[in-house]
Amino acid sequence: MKIRNALTFALTFCALVAAILLVAGCGDKATTRDIAPGNTATTTDEHADHGHDLEGNHAATPAAQPAGTTGKVRETMDSGGYTYVKLSMADDEVWVAGPVTAGIEVGREIGFSGAMEMRDFHAKSLDRTFDRILFVSGFTGAGTANPHGGTPGVDQPLSGTKTKLENAHVEGVRKADGGYTIAEVYDRAAELKNQEVAVRGRIVKFSRNIMGTNWMHIQDGSGDDDTSDLTVTTDGHGQVGDIVLVKGPLSVDKDFGAGYRYHVIIEGASVTKE
Residue 232: CATH number of its domain: 2.40.50.140
Residue at 176 is within a domain = no
pLDDT tier, 39 (very low <50, low <70, confident <90, very high otherwise): very low
Which of 140, 167, 202 finishes a domain? 140
Global pTM reads 0.47
Q: Tell me if 156 is assigned to some domain.
A: no
**Radius of gyration of the chain from Cα atoms?**
20
> Same domain, yes or no, for 13 and 112?
yes
**Pairwise pLDDT comparison (102 vs 132), residue with the higher score:** 132
> Among residues 137, 160, 34, 151, which one has the least CA distance to residue 81?
151
Assigned domain for 108 exists: yes
Residue 130 and residue 201 in one domain: no
Q: Are residues 22 and 136 in the same domain?
A: yes
Per-residue pLDDT band for 45 (boundaries 50, 70, 90) equals very low
Give the helix/strand (H/E) hosting 144: none
Same domain, 134 and 240: no
Amino acid at position 91, single letter = D
Lowest mean pLDDT among 20-29, 84-93, 157-166, 208-217: 20-29
In whole angstroms, give the CA distance from residue 243 to residue 250. Answer: 20
Provide the 3-class DSSP secondary structure of residue 48. coil
Q: What is residue 176's predicted lDDT score, i.e. its pLDDT?
A: 97
- DSSP 8-state secondary structure symbol assigned to residue 1: -
Instruction: Specify whether 132 is located in the same domain as 191.
Output: no
Q: Whole-angstrom Cα distance, residue 155 to residue 152? A: 8
Same domain, 17 and 122: yes
Are residue 136 and residue 186 in the same domain, yes or no? Answer: no
Statement to judge: residues 40 and 135 lie in one domain: yes
Query: Whole domain around residue 219: which residue ranges?
Result: 182-273
In the chain, the amino acid numbered 38 is: G
Whether 16 and 135 share a structural domain = yes
Residue 159 domain-assigned (yes or no): no
Whether the predicted pLDDT of 107 surpasses 50: yes
- Predicted confidence at residue 6, as pLDDT, reads 42
Domain membership flag for residue 191: yes
Q: Is residue 188 part of a domain?
A: yes
The answer to whether residues 111 and 58 belong to one domain is yes
245-270 pLDDT per residue, tens: 999 999 999 886 655 788 999 999 99
Q: For strands 70-79 and 31-35, give the pairing.
A: antiparallel
> 8 and 110 in one domain?
yes
Q: Is residue 162 included in any domain, yes or no?
A: no
- How many structural domains is the chain composed of? 2
Do 217 and 97 share a structural domain?
no
Q: Assess if residue 241 is contained within a domain.
A: yes
